[in-house]
Amino acid sequence: MKLGYCSITWGGVVGHPQGVTSVKDLFYMTHGSMRDAVKDIASVGYQGVEMFDGNLVEYAEKPEELKEILSSSGVALTSVYTGANFIYADILPDEMHRIHRAAELAAGFGAERLVVGGGARRAAGTTDEDYQRLGGALDSVADIAESFGLSASYHPHLSTIVEGPEELDRLMPLTRIGFCPDTAHLAAGGADPAAVIRKYPDRIQHVHLKDFQKDPFNFLPLGQGELDFPDIIAAIRESGYDSWLMVELDNYDGDPRAAAEISKKYLEKLLSS
């Protein structure tokens, strides 16, 4: 398996400010330096990096700059993360326009994969139709990704209509998109990550690894929380998945490079055992 790291730790995640008044421009992004992130990720020994779609947009008019950042560090852009509400029919065309742009940029910078989250929670409550709409929209995302030579995976996420295992079970029969298990989000949603991986082995096309502490709630570097990573890695191996393992940490109070190194050392030891 190949090890990569997500750039979110270098600045957290925000929505592009233009998205406040224009849904087609509501990209995810981190305010951190992609040059610093890639340099740190490479120095720890990771082979790949995942970025937000909004950070690629920043380089859309100067693509050679990002290509130089990647090539000089010897790190590949493996995947690009984006997302949308997906359940509101009137804005769905603009959301798909944005995802098309994300896929186009991802392919242009050499990525292999598009990862999406989303499925908005209505104030009045989630309906069966919301899951139908989400499933149909995710099929369209898969079509878009494949048109650019990318694979597409859905990432269950807190604050969406697919947090817990029961919600994931409602969605999976409604779409053909691949599955990106995120160990910490699954655990925070009430699931056993290894059990979920074992339930959907044939759908896994991407993996996010991060640790989790329930009380007080916190995402942590690998090996510093409560998750059973030996069982999680065993489940991944049983599934037949043998590709990128992307370590992710949404935020960290200390040096992001130090957090990346903690996870790398833990994961390498685990994979070698």
Share the mean pLDDT of the chain: 96
Q: DSSP per residue over 239-251, as a string?
A: HT--SEEEE--S-
- pLDDT tens string 48-81: 999 999 999 999 999 999 999 999 999 999 999 9
**Position 19 confidence tier, pLDDT thresholds 50, 70, 90:** low
Q: Report pLDDT for 24.
A: 87
| Percent of the chain residues past pLDDT 90, beyond the cut | 91
Q: Report pLDDT for 29.
A: 86
What's the predicted TM-score (pTM) here?
0.95
Domains of the chain: 2-272 (3.20.20.150)
Task: Indicate the Cα dihedral angle 36, 253, 76, 111, nearest 10°.
Answer: -110
- pLDDT tens string 88-135: 999 999 999 999 999 999 999 999 999 999 999 999 999 999 999 999
| Percent of the chain residues past pLDDT 70, beyond the cut | 97
Q: Is the pLDDT of residue 21 over 70?
A: no
- pLDDT tens string 220-231: 999 999 999 999
Dihedral sign from CA coordinates of 104, 110, 111, 112: positive
